[in-house]
Amino acid sequence: MVVKEEAKSLGRTVPSFRLALAEEESEWRDYRKHLDVSERKDFDDMFAIPRLYISACSGAVSLVRIHPIFISILFHHHRELMKIAQQIEVVKREQIVACH
């Protein structure tokens, strides 16, 4: 009987990261409210980034739920910067070829 009760609770002790993300976002509402109206969409977009990496966030099993959120945002921005750097290199090479 004890085994059945334990089996029921398996996986229930750690809430879904989607729920944790929603709770964290809710806790930042006051911060968002004090941003300039023109900045609020950028803030919302930033908080949407972790949804792209929800599996990784869930797998991280961090006790501090903001940590995987921050890492997701940083990782996404890092990837975007690397894409931009590659595009710059392509443009530089094209300019060198065009000058010769």
Split at pLDDT 50, 70, 90, the class of 1 is very low
Q: Which of 13, 12, 17 is nearest to 65 (CA)?
A: 17
Q: What are the CA-CA distances from residue 10 to residues 4, 13, 38, 43, 59 (Å)? A: 10, 7, 44, 35, 16
Could you tell me which residue, 11 or 34, shows the higher pLDDT? 34
pLDDT of residue 45: 95
Model pLDDT for residues 53-88, shown as the tens digit of each residue: 999 998 887 778 899 999 999 999 999 999 999 999
pLDDT of residue 100: 77
Is residue 3 predicted with pLDDT exceeding 60?
no
